[in-house]
Amino acid sequence: MGEYKRVGILGGGQLAMMLCEAASRLGVSSKVLAPDANCPAKRTADMAVQADYEDLQAVQEFAADCDVVTFEFENVPVRSLFSLQEANHIVAPGAKILAIVQDRLTEKQFLQDNQIPLARFARIDKVSDLGPAMEAVGLPAVLKTRHFGYDGKGQTWIHEEKKAEAAFDLIHHHPAVLEEVVPFVREVSVIAACNYKGGFVAFPVTENVHEAGILRQSSIPANCSVEVAETAIAITRKIIDALGYVGVLAVEFFETGNGKLLVNEIAPRVHNSGHWTRGGACPDQFEMHIRAVLAMDMPQPKCASSAKMQNLIGADILQAEELQNAGWQVCDYGKSRKQPGRKMGHAVKWQ
C-alpha cells in the first residue's frame, strides 16, 4: 500500500467530524485530538487521541505522524500551536491568526490596521473606561469579553449610560470591548479558502439569521446586490492576503441600509454558515479546507443554485425525522447531552 497523507485536527466536535468525513473522501487519513473520549468526530476519524489541548507533550506526539495539523475551533491554546511550529510541524492556518482572533481587541485592531471596514469599538479594561467608550461608540452598544466568547456567550447590551457598570459586572469585569450596535438590513458571510501558493476560492455569499447570538439559518443566494456580494468577497480576500492565510476562513458581515458592509468577525476555520455546502457544493467547505492545508488542488466549487441550512438547537433535534421526511438532509452530531442552546445538528435542503 502507498502511504497516504494524514491530517491532524485539534478538536473533536461536529466541525472535526465533517472534516474527517471529507478527508476520507479524499483518501486522506485523519486523526483528531480532543479531551472528550466520546466526541462527535470519533465516528468519522481514522484515529482519535484523548488528551488536553494544553498537554504539549501529547500534542507533539499527536503531530508526529501528521503531514499537517489544523484545528476546528478558535480556543485551542495558541501556545500548543506555537510549540508545534517551533518543532517544525506544519500548522495551517498558522498560530498567528489564532493569536489574533482569540482576542476580540487584537482582531479588531488587525482589521482596522488593514483598512477593513468595521463598526466602532473601544477597549474596556476598567470601570472608568466605560464613559469615554460610550462617548466614542454611542448607545446602544454591546459589551463583549475579549476572550472565549462564542454563540452569544460573554456579551451583553448596554442601552443606557447608567446601566453600563451593571453590564460590566455581568461579564465579571473581564477585559472587554464595547461595540457599536449597527442597524443592519442583513447579515451575510463569506467562506473562502487559500492555499500555500495564494490560490483563492470563495463560496457564494451566504445570508444568515441569528437569534440570541446563535446562528439559526443560512441560505444562498443572499438577497444582497451583486456589488455587495463582490465587495464581501474582495474584503475577505484582503483579509486572507494580509494574513498569508492557508485553509478555510469565514468572515461575517453586517450590511447596512446604504449597502455598506462592516466586518462583524472572522473565524479561522470551517464555519456553521457554510454547512449548506455539505451536499450543496462540491467540494464542500470541509473538503476545501483539507485540500488547502494539504496543498492539494482547490477546484472552483460547483454549487447549488439555492440552498438553505437550519441549525437544530437543543430540542430541535427531535424534529429530525419530520425534517427528513420533508426532504431535508439531516446531520445529527450525535451529542449525548441535550441542553438548551446547544447545537445538536443541522438540516440542509438545496436544489
By CB under 8 A, name the binding residues for a copy of itself.
1-5, 21, 24-28, 278-284, 287, 296-297, 299-300, 302-304, 317-324, 327, 329-332, 345, 347, 349-351
Measured from the CB atom, the residue of 126 and 302 that comes closer to a copy of itself is 302
Q: Confirm if 86 and 43 have CB atoms less than 8 A apart.
A: no
Cα separation, 212 vs 251, in Å, equals: 19
Measured from the CB atom, the residue of 124 and 331 that comes closer to a copy of itself is 331
Residue 333 CB, shortest distance to a copy of itself, in Å, is 11
Cα separation, 8 vs 318, in Å, equals: 33
Residue 326 CB, shortest distance to a copy of itself, in Å, is 9
Residue 337 CB, shortest distance to a copy of itself, in Å, is 13
Residue 319 CB, shortest distance to a copy of itself, in Å, is 7
The DSSP secondary-structure symbol of 61 reads H
Residue 67 CB, shortest distance to a copy of itself, in Å, is 10
Question: How far, in Å, are 15, 40, 124, 214, 317 from residue 314 at the CA level?
Answer: 17, 16, 33, 12, 7
Measured from the CB atom, the residue of 254 and 286 that comes closer to a copy of itself is 286
Residues paired with residue 184 on neighbouring β-strands, in sequence order = 256
Measured from the CB atom, the residue of 28 and 263 that comes closer to a copy of itself is 28
Measured from the CB atom, the residue of 24 and 60 that comes closer to a copy of itself is 24
Reduced to 3 states, what is the DSSP secondary structure of residue 222?
coil
DSSP labels for 240-298? HHHHT--EEEEEEEEEETTS-EEEEEEESS--GGGTTHHHHEES-HHHHHHHHHTT---
Q: Confirm if 186 and 222 have CB atoms less than 8 A apart.
A: yes
Q: Nearest-CA neighbor of 188 among 225, 150, 140?
A: 225
Q: In what order do the strands lie in the sheet with 155-158?
A: 121-124, 176-180, 141-145, 155-158
Measured from the CB atom, the residue of 44 and 189 that comes closer to a copy of itself is 44
Residue 23 CB, shortest distance to a copy of itself, in Å, is 11
